[in-house]
């Protein structure tokens, strides 16, 4: 959870035993003011301590290496960082990258960079195209080779094609993200499920639903682990309001 908070994938950590309290505050709202909802959630925010093993202790080095534009350059930078330290983390990362599909690494890097300028709906559509083409195997059969090597035969010795990063062309990578010729094959997302369509009225409806869920478990003393779903919903409210 610490890493998720620090990288802004989650926010407003709250102790599990405070779930009933935060739900009570949210249920008592008589306003649709989004700022009021956000303030209530943030009142329950608890401080966090970074775990000694967290990657955040290497955040500066990670940014130096992974901010580069090519996978090859990222590996060179990691090797340079590793040369000046005995941190096993660098060795583990380099071993994993050297063993992974060269094509998949370039696809992943480009996909992450493209997502910076996209809405969630655009990203989901593009990732869907990439997944479909990986499964189709018309450009490369690395998906099936990975399944064979790691899940079926388990020899853990995949024969990637292309086998080297330098052999993966920009044209090959771009082909995974191109729109389908037949528009009907594109991922169709219902409008109501796209990001940015979640307002205060929706939040109040969710409050009622989640509160009813909790009320139905009054016979259980304390807060059961399953009720952490409510916590996850509540502490994410302010994030939903911002998107």
- For residues 52 and 25, give the distance between their C-alpha atoms in angstroms, rounded to a whole number: 35
Q: What three-state secondary structure class fits 219?
A: coil
Q: List CB contacts of 25: < 8 A, sequence separation 6 or more.
A: 40, 43
Residue 187 domain-assigned (yes or no): no
Residue 40 domain-assigned (yes or no): yes
Q: Which domain holds residue 220?
A: 2-50+199-242
- For residues 239 and 72, give the distance between their C-alpha atoms in angstroms, rounded to a whole number: 35
Q: List CB contacts of 24: < 8 A, sequence separation 6 or more.
A: none
Please state at what angle helix 120-136 crosses helix 102-115, rounded to 10 degrees.
160
Instruction: Categorize the per-residue pLDDT at 208 as very low, low, confident or very high, splitting at 50, 70 and 90.
Output: low
Taking 90 as the threshold, does the pLDDT of residue 110 lie above it? yes
pLDDT tens-digit map of 165-195:
999 999 999 999 999 999 999 998 876 555 5
Residue 182 domain-assigned (yes or no): no
Residue 27 domain-assigned (yes or no): yes
- Given this model, what pLDDT does residue 138 score? 94
> Residues 11-14: contacts with CB within 8 Å, 24+ apart?
11/235, 11/236, 11/238, 11/239, 12/41, 12/42, 12/44, 12/45, 12/235, 12/236, 12/238, 13/45, 13/46, 13/48, 13/235, 14/44, 14/45, 14/46, 14/231, 14/234, 14/235
- Comparing 13 with 103, the larger pLDDT belongs to 103
3-12, 32-41, 145-154: range with highest mean pLDDT: 145-154
- Given this model, what pLDDT does residue 14 score? 75
Residue 7 domain-assigned (yes or no): yes
Please return the burial class of 232, using the count of CB atoms within 10 Å of its CB with bins 0-12, 13-18 and 19+. Answer: exposed
Report how many domains make up the chain. Answer: 1
- Given this model, what pLDDT does residue 133 score? 96
Please return the burial class of 102, using the count of CB atoms within 10 Å of its CB with bins 0-12, 13-18 and 19+. Answer: buried
9-13, 171-175, 221-225: range with highest mean pLDDT: 171-175
Taking 80 as the threshold, does the pLDDT of residue 225 lie above it? no
Instruction: Categorize the per-residue pLDDT at 1 as very low, low, confident or very high, splitting at 50, 70 and 90.
Output: low
pLDDT tens-digit map of 49-84:
667 777 777 888 889 999 999 999 999 999 998 987
Closest CA to 1 of 44, 37, 50, 34: 50
In this prediction, residues 115-144 reach a mean pLDDT of 95
In this prediction, residues 26-45 reach a mean pLDDT of 82
Instruction: Determine the distance from the C-alpha atom of residue 129 to the mean position of all C-alpha atoms in its chain, rounded to a whole number.
Output: 18
pTM: 0.64
Residue 228 domain-assigned (yes or no): yes
């Amino acid at each position: 959870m610490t890493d998720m908070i620090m990288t802004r994938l989650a926010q407003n950590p709250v102790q599990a035993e405070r779930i009933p309290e935060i739900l009570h505050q949210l249920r008592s709202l008589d306003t649709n003011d989004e700022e009021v909802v956000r303030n209530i959630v943030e009142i329950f925010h608890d401080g966090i301590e970074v775990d000694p093993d967290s990657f955040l202790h290497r955040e500066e080095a990670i940014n130096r290496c992974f901010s580069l534009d090519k996978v090859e350059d990222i590996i060179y930078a990691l090797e340079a960082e590793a040369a000046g330290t005995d941190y096993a983390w660098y060795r583990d990362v380099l071993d994993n990258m050297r063993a992974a599909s060269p094509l998949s690494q370039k696809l992943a890097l480009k996909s992450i960079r493209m997502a910076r300028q996209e809405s969630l709906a655009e990203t989901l559509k593009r990732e869907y195209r990439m997944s479909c083409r990986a499964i189709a195997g018309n450009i490369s059969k690395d998906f099936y080779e990975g399944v064979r090597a790691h899940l079926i035969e388990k020899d853990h010795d995949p024969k990637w094609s292309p086998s080297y990063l330098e052999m993966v062309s920009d044209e090959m990578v771009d082909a995974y993200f191109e729109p389908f010729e037949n528009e009907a094959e594109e991922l169709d997302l219902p409008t109501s499920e796209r990001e940015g369509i979640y307002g205060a009225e929706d939040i109040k409806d969710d409050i009622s639903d989640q509160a009813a869920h909790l009320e139905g478990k009054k016979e259980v003393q304390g807060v059961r682990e399953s009720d952490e779903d409510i916590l996850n919903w509540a502490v994410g409210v302010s994030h939903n309001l911002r998107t």
